[in-house]
Structure 1
Amino acid sequence: MKKIEAIIRPTKLEEVKASLEDAGFNSLTIIDVKGRGQQKGIIQQWRGQEYRVDALPKTKIELVVNDEDEDKAIDVIVSSTRTGNIGDGKIFVLPVEKVIRIRTGERDGKAI
């Protein structure tokens, strides 16, 4: 099993959720986060003064998938979020050793 963590633009959240659901990935966690990547923030103006905002609002999506579904989930996320501009986000894939559904006690693949 794999845990996929995707940091995306908040404006792309609804599109990603719909695309993941259409592809059969119904379970996910959504977290509002702030951060920066290569763009190192943006310059804005307020009352004639420039200032740097270096922690931009982003959305983090987490989902756990079976190994054979890893590439499919990644492709869905990429195709739903790519604009070709800096700030599109990142995807991280981590191994998952064990999953337990608390309600039923099911484990691993059955618990996803």
Structure 2
Amino acid sequence: MKKIEAIIKPFKLDEVKDALHEVGLQGITVTEAKGFGRQKGHTELYRGAEYVVDFLPKVKIEVVLADNQVDRAIEAIQTAARTGRIG
């Protein structure tokens, strides 16, 4: 048995879930998360005041699966979650 943890953008969750279902995985655990990488957040304007948003919303997916399913699951997650942009 192996456990895969992936941090993805929230709007990619449905695509990743569908991709995992297509490779035969039935169950996943999803947790809301916040974080940043190379993009390091951004500045927003709220009621006339600027503030820095350091942590961006993310979704953490956890999948426990048999050893022989690992490669297909990783491929499915990478393909479905890829946006072509950092973060």
TM over 0.5: yes
Larger Cα Rg: Structure 1 or Structure 2? 1
Matched pairs, number: 87
Task: Provide structure 2 residue ranges, at least 5 long, that are not aligned to the other structure.
Answer: none
Sequence identity percentage = 53
Residue of structure 2 in register with 1:5 after alignment: 5
Q: 1:76 and 2:60 equivalent? A: no
Runs of 4+ aligned structure 1 residues displaced above 3 Å come to: none
Q: CA RMSD in A?
A: 1.2
Residue of structure 2 in register with 1:29 after alignment: 29
SS in 1 for 2:11: helix
Higher relative contact order (CA 8 A, sep 6+): 2
CA distance in 2, matches of 1:71, 1:26: 16
TM-score, scaled to structure 2: 0.90
Residue of structure 1 in register with 2:54 after alignment: 54
One-letter identity of the residue aligned with 2:10: P
Deviation of 1:42 after TM superposition, in Å, equals 1.5
**Greater Cα shift, 49-58 or 10-19:** 49-58
CA distance in 1, matches of 2:43, 2:73: 34
One-letter identity of the residue aligned with 2:46: W
TM-score, scaled to structure 1: 0.72
CA distance in 2, matches of 1:75, 1:83: 14
CA distance in 2, matches of 1:47, 1:27: 42
Task: Provide structure 1 residue ranges, at least 5 long, that are not aligned to the other structure.
Answer: 88-112
CA distance in 1, matches of 2:27, 2:63: 7
